[in-house]
């Protein structure tokens, strides 16, 4: 039954939708440079949404089903919605650096629509909600990639991303169709009972396979990763920063719900499938990243590798029974949270270099420590954290994932994780070496080194970089608190 | 049994579409093939819904049609914008991104 009180639980989503619509109207009537009005509007909306979310967070630690079981409001969805609201706000401030008024308002509106989809996706309790939410998240993102529509690279990236995304969606719908046909229900929770009743037949495995393939595209797992580097390279940098973290983590959140809830009876098969995909993703992502010279492509392959690390955690969850000390899903949540800030920050610094030198080539980072010391230090923090160097948050994230892999007796997967992390140090540290130990190239415009960083990088953009760097350092030092939150989120949602 | 017939039709549509996406190089034809895959999924959904005597599958079909319409709108818009800077719609020539 749909109760009037259900509306209260989706007030955050309604606020985000209202902000998106208001931004579209604003885009139609605005004249002159109104960038900061658009930004303020979006940030106010996101702030209000966060307020509504924490006001109506289920007080008694119980998950609340709303809209006749279509959506669930629980600690798990609150954890991710908090992350997405922060990321979207950072991305809009980032966008204000890159775009003039009209494209910025479009950018902010599309971002808010995508944010709405992500917020619904992490609370999806039914295949119908999951389908609509995943498309609400993905369709604005295709446009974001192609937003600079006079650049051929941007449109080409949008076309590739769109074609593979739509292909994945079609596979997802077909997988949902089979799951529904075999179980007779569209509810994620009841799907498990239906599958248990039906038993492990080729048909249930077929349905599971289709859904895993579709989700593999969305999280950019090997062999469904080909769109990632192209999309990041061609997209305007603020859009690339957002899509490399938001939709990927949201899809990972849904995947965790699907494998631990809907397809729980097939956990043994899922563990094997995810372990193989995770290993392939880590190996290929890290090896391909070594050969990259464009920093956005490098971050693309790096994000593929990090998908692999998160999948290790999910494989471990499917492999073993939940025990008191096992931190399977919370380790994935933790990793998603800290990964988002590291990668977002790296794109923000890449944009600083892009404005200074007009290039995204790694050689453009030469001598950045002299030209712009603070962004260079922040970039070093992000690169070291992505490598997994203590005491930064990326290290803790890998440690927790590794711990759950070992607890699940996935020794070989843990070994692959460690070895590929060592390989990743090669290309991450290469950027650090460029910044601190080499002088600027001759082909960098001569004035790039003389223009003070503050003239190019506005204070707001520095604040975005500082926020990402601060989060990366802080969660490394006080990561236990975030892990506790992730654990209570999982206990209040998934289990 | 009637159900199997519909499922076979759905599977054929889906497989034809998937093959088309993978082997055809014309962007518009690829878009049409993705639609074909979605229609295969819809036929499957509707057949199961009728067989199970349950309305949820029909509702999903309506949602899935809406999703397909939104996707095509965006896809064609991107294609039109792309054809302005690059008049050929053959995806093999989309090669300015690499590394």
- The correct CATH number of B9-87 out of 1.10.287.3510, 3.40.50.1000, 3.30.565.10, 1.20.1270.360 is 1.10.287.3510
Cα within 13 Å of Cα(A312), Cβ side: 34
Which residues on chain B are in Cβ contact (under 8 Å) with A233? 97, 99
Whether chain A has a CB inside 8 Å of the CB on B13: the answer is no
Confidence of residue A117 (pLDDT cuts 50, 70, 90): very high
pLDDT at A457 over 80: no
Q: Which helix (H) or strand (E) segment is A64 a member of?
A: strand A64-66
All structural domains of chain A with their residue ranges: 265-495
Whether chain A has a CB inside 8 Å of the CB on B17: the answer is yes
Contact A180 B17 (CB under 8 A): no
Q: Indicate the residue of A146, A152, A170 with minimum beta-carbon distance to B78.
A: A146
Adjacent-strand bridge partners of A187: A126
What is the average pLDDT across A324-345? 89
Q: Distance (Å, rounded) from C-alpha A329 to C-alpha B67?
A: 30
Which residues on chain B are in Cβ contact (under 8 Å) with A128? 56, 59-60, 63
pLDDT at A442 over 70: no
Contact, A80 vs A122, CB < 8 A? yes
Residue A32 CA, distance from chain mean position: 34
For residue B41, CA distances in Å to A67, A124, B27 come to 26, 21, 21
Spans of chain B, pLDDT less than 50: none
Mean pLDDT of chain A: 88
Q: Indicate the residue of A158, A170, A186 with minimum beta-carbon distance to B38.
A: A170
Q: Indicate the residue of A160, A166, A294 with minimum beta-carbon distance to B34.
A: A166
CB atoms within 10 A of CB A33: 10
pTM of the model: 0.93
Query: What six digits make up the tokens of A287?
Result: 């090896």
Q: pLDDT by residue (tens digit) across A351-360?
A: 988 888 888 8
Which residues on chain A are in Cβ contact (under 8 Å) with B10? 177
Q: In B, residues 77-96, which contact A (CB 8 Å cutoff)?
A: 77-79, 81-82, 85-86, 91, 94, 96
The fraction of chain B above a pLDDT of 70, given in percent, is: 88
CB atoms within 10 A of CB A385: 31
- A430, with CB counted inside 10 A (0-12, 13-18, 19+), is middle
Peptide bond into A391 cis (omega under 30): yes
pLDDT at A2 over 80: no
Selection from A97, A98, A118 nearest residue A13 by Cα: A118
* Backbone conformation region of residue A26, classed left if phi is above 0, alpha if psi is from -120 to 50, else beta: alpha
Residues sharing a CB contact under 8 Å with residue A240, sequence separation 6 or more, in sequence order: A145, A231, A232, A233, A296, A299, A347
Query: What six digits make up the tokens of A159?
Result: 């076309």
Contact A128 B51 (CB under 8 A): no
Q: pLDDT by residue (tens digit) across A246-261?
A: 999 999 999 999 998 8
For residue A247, CA distances in Å to A88, A115, A142, A448, B87 come to 11, 9, 11, 35, 31
First to last CA, chain B: 53
Q: Distance (Å, rounded) from C-alpha A109 to C-alpha A67?
A: 26
A206-211 — which CB contacts under 8 Å span 24+ positions? A206/A178, A207/A175, A207/A178, A207/A179, A207/A182, A208/A175, A208/A179, A208/A263, A208/A266, A208/A269, A208/A270, A209/A175, A209/A273, A210/A171, A210/A172, A210/A174, A210/A175, A210/A178, A211/A172, A211/A175, A211/A176, A211/A179, A211/A258, A211/A263
All structural domains of chain B with their residue ranges: 9-87
Alpha helices, H only, A391-478: 393-407, 411-437, 453-456, 459-477
Q: pLDDT by residue (tens digit) across A132-186?
A: 999 999 999 999 999 988 888 899 899 999 999 999 999 999 999 999 999 999 9
Q: In B, residues 28-47, which contact A (CB 8 Å cutoff)?
A: 30-31, 34, 37-38, 40-42, 44-45, 47
Contact, A344 vs A244, CB < 8 A? yes
Contact B63 A152 (CB under 8 A): no
What is the average pLDDT across A353-371? 86
Closest residue in A to B73 (Cα) is A139
Q: Chain B interface, mutation test: which of A70, A138, A166, most B Cβ atoms within 10 Å?
A: A166
Contact B71 A169 (CB under 8 A): yes
Contact A177 B44 (CB under 8 A): yes
Contact, A164 vs A262, CB < 8 A? no
Contact B71 A186 (CB under 8 A): no
Contact, A13 vs A66, CB < 8 A? no
Calculate ∠ Cα A8-A9-A10, nearest 5°. 95
Peptide bond into A223 cis (omega under 30): yes
Q: Distance (Å, rounded) from C-alpha B7 to C-alpha B13?
A: 10
DSSP code of B38? H
Contact A135 B99 (CB under 8 A): no
Confidence of residue A125 (pLDDT cuts 50, 70, 90): very high
Closest residue in A to B25 (Cα) is A163
In order, the DSSP letters of A142-156 are HHHHT-STT-HHHHH
């Amino acid at each position: 039954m749909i109760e009037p009180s259900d509306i209260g639980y989706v007030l955050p989503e309604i606020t985000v939708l209202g902000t998106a619509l208001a931004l579209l109207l604003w885009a139609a009537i605005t004249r002159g440079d109104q960038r900061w009005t658009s930004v303020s509007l979006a940030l106010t909306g996101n702030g209000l949404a966060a307020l509504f979310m924490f006001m109506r967070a289920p007080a008694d630690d119980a998950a609340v089903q709303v809209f006749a079981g279509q959506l669930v409001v629980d600690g798990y969805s609150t954890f991710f919605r908090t992350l997405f609201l922060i990321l979207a706000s950072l991305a809009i401030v980032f966008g204000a650096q890159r775009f003039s008024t009209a494209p910025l308002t479009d950018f902010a509106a599309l971002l808010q629509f995508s944010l709405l989809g992500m917020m619904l996706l992490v609370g999806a309790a039914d295949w119908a909600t999951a389908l609509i939410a995943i498309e609400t998240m993905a369709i604005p993102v295709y446009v974001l990639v192609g937003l600079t529509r006079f650049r051929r690279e941007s449109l080409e990236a949008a076309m590739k991303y769109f074609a593979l995304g739509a292909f994945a969606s079609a596979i997802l719908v077909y997988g949902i169709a089979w799951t529904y046909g075999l179980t007779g229900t569209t509810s994620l929770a009841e799907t498990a009972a239906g599958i248990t009743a039906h038993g492990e037949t080729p048909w249930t495995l077929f349905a599971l396979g289709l859904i895993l393939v579709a989700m593999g595209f969305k999280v950019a797992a090997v062999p469904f990763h080909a769109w990632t580097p192209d999309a990041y390279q061609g997209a305007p940098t603020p859009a690339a920063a957002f899509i490399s973290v938001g939709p990927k983590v949201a899809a990972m959140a849904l995947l965790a719900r699907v494998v631990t809830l809907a397809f729980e009876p097939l956990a043994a098969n899922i563990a094997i499938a995810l372990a193989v995909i995770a290993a392939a993703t880590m190996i290929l992502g890290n090896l391909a990243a070594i050969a990259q010279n464009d920093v956005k492509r490098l971050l693309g392959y790096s994000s593929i590798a990090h998908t692999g690390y998160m999948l290790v955690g999910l494989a471990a969850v499917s492999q073993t029974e939940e025990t008191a000390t096992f931190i399977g899903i919370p380790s994935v949540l933790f990793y998603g949270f800290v990964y988002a800030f590291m990668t977002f920050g790296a794109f923000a610094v890449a944009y600083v270099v892009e404005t200074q030198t007009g290039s995204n080539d790694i050689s453009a980072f030469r001598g950045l420590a002299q030209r712009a010391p603070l962004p260079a230090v922040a970039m070093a923090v992000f690169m070291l954290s992505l490598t997994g160097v203590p005491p930064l948050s990326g290290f803790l994230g890998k440690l927790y994932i590794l711990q759950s892999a070992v607890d699940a007796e996935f020794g070989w997967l843990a070994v692959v994780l460690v070895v590929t992390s060592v390989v990743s140090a090669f290309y991450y540290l290469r950027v650090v070496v460029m910044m601190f130990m080499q002088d600027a190239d001759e082909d960098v415009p001569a004035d790039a080194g003389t223009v003070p960083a503050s003239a190019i990088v506005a204070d707001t953009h520095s604040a975005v970089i500082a926020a990402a760097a601060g989060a990366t350092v802080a969660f490394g030092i006080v990561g236990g608190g975030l892990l506790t939150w992730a654990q209570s989120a999982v206990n209040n949602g998934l289990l | 049994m009637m159900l199997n017939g519909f499922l076979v039709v759905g599977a054929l549509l889906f497989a034809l579409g998937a093959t088309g996406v993978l082997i055809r190089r014309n962007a518009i034809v690829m878009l049409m093939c993705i639609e074909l895959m979605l229609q295969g999924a819809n036929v499957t959904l509707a057949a199961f819904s009728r067989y199970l005597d349950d309305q949820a599958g029909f509702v999903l079909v309506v949602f899935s049609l809406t999703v397909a319409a939104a996707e095509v709108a965006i896809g064609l818009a991107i294609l039109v914008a792309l054809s302005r800077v690059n008049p050929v719609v053959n995806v093999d020539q989309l090669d300015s991104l690499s590394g």
